[in-house]
Amino acid sequence: MASVAVACGVLSPEEQLLTDYFEAARLNDTTVMARLSALPFNPRSQGIVDSFHIERVEDAGPAEHVVVTARVRSFEGVVTSRQFVFTLTRQDGRWFIQAWRAAGAP
C-alpha cells in the first residue's frame, strides 16, 4: 500500500519541468528559466502561475505540445484561468521548453 501512495506523488517529466519553470518565473529567476526554456515567463506581464493542470500532451514528432490550464494571478492581484500551449523538445537528454503561447493565439 505504501508504494501506491509514493507512486501517486511522482510527477510526469512534463509536469516537473513546468513546475520548475513556473517556480523560477514566480521568483523572476532568469538564470533557471534559461536552463529550462528558450523563452522567459515574465511575472509582471504574464502573471504568476499559482497552480496548473496538464490537459493533454500531443505528440508532434520530435516535440510534444503540452496544453495547460493555469490559475494565473496578475501583478495587480486579479486571478484568472488561462490556457497555454508549451512546445517541448529533447535537449541534452532532457525536456526543454522550446516555445509557449496562450491558447488561441497564433
Which domains does the chain carry? 2-102 (3.10.450.50)
CA dihedral 76, 87, 94, 47 (to 10 degrees): 0
Cα–Cα distance measured from residue 22 to residue 79, given in angstroms and rounded to the nearest whole number: 16
Measure the CA–CA gap between 9 and 100, rounded to whole angstroms: 26
At 13-40, the pLDDT tens digits run: 999 999 999 999 999 999 999 999 999 9
pLDDT at residue number 3 = 39
| Cβ burial 60-80 (10 Å sphere, 16+ → b, else e) | eeebbebebebebbeeeeeee
Beta bridge partners of 97: 37, 88
pLDDT higher than 90, residue 84: yes
pLDDT over 60 at 11, yes or no: yes
Choose between 14 and 75: higher pLDDT.
14
Per-residue confidence (pLDDT) for residue 9, from 0 to 100: 67
